[in-house]
Amino acid sequence: MATRTGYADLPLHGGHVPRWLFLRMVRLSRAILLALAEEFGTAEILRRLSDPHWFQALGCLLGFDWHSSGLTTTTCGALKLALAEIGPELGLCAAGGKGAASRETPKEIELQAERVGLEPGPLLYASRMSAKVDSAALQDGFQIYHHVFFFDREGRWCVVQQGMRESARLARRYHWLSEGLESFVVEPHAGVVGARADLVLNLVAQEAEPARTAIPELARKPPDQLAAELRHLKRLKLPERHALLLSDLDPKRLESVFLRTYEAAAPDFEKLLGVQGLGAKGLRALALLAELLHGAPASFRDPARFAFAHGGKDGTPYPVDRATYDRTVAALERAVRQARLGEREELAALRRIPLLFRSP
């Protein structure tokens, strides 16, 4: 396994993907998906999409420079369009997207799950919980605006979602994978990549287990009692690191949220997180109360931790070379066609290419 030696901030660049390039991205995505499925199967495709470094390299291969705006959304868009054509054949589906499209994820999951003969319930739950964790249980200053859910006919899935901190023009991407996932609320990510955050409330960190235990207990207390405790705490002079928790908490407005958690009587943190109406502010308040009343600290550890082939849409490090791009697509498509006819020499040759670039 390669050693990771650092991380990269991803400043957003303006501009858009020209139609001639996006059409090529869809075609190349189609060829890559067919080649991977032929060689490794859909489980491996999901594993690779869940790796933030592999995904970043894929975006660059499709024609983005490493920090151009839209790499995540356009790469997912190209993959989704490619799967609209070949997904039924591969047994691989994609749902969701950016902004309003992300809100259509449940409907798309239900429709496509029915087509491949899957019960949609577990998939819908995974989609909803991954979005809830990254918007409420992991509070890092990035607003989630993009959510794409990939799954195969065996019920395996991965999530690629992205948040943005518009004031700094920085983005952060969150990846999930069903394989090996033991809990939605304990170190659930396959990877988090992007700009570092200065102050984070991380309720899904391993070391935040005391808070995950105490918070549901607090949530089952009468809402007026919690609001009173919060009003009392806001009058105290607290350590500076609690600024994230206290900065915009309004006990009066939170009382209605506490009523929902009280009525839900959730037995554990995961069930509590799924309560409708409980968002980032409500969880911040409960986390603060859990630490100061129960001595159960949360975690403030940030979980966050590039590849050119055809150039980048913004001309960095050089403009996209259309002829080379088209030759790459044609070579992949030809290799897949021949492999399906039993002639696997070209696909095997593509697999040996990385060996040429390894250090002796």
Per-residue confidence (pLDDT) for residue 355, from 0 to 100: 47
Q: What is the DSSP letter of 179?
A: T
At 352, the pLDDT band (50, 70, 90 cuts) reads low
| In the chain, where the domains are located | 1-198+303-360, 206-294
User: pLDDT tens for residues 219-266?
Assistant: 999 999 998 888 877 665 555 554 445 656 788 889 999 999 999 999
Per-residue confidence (pLDDT) for residue 7, from 0 to 100: 47
Q: What is the DSSP letter of 42?
A: H
* Contact of 221 with 265, CB cutoff 8 Å: no
Distances (CA, A) of 14 to 98, 190, 318: 16, 28, 17
At 17, the pLDDT band (50, 70, 90 cuts) reads confident
Q: Specify the pTM.
A: 0.79
With CA atoms as reference, report the closest residue to 256 among 280, 227, 286.
227
Cis bond before residue 216 (omega within 30° of 0): no
314 pLDDT higher than 70: no
Mean pLDDT score of the chain, rounded to an integer? Answer: 84
At 2, the pLDDT band (50, 70, 90 cuts) reads very low
pLDDT higher at 337 or 228: 228
70 pLDDT higher than 60: yes
User: pLDDT tens for residues 270-284?
Assistant: 999 999 999 999 999
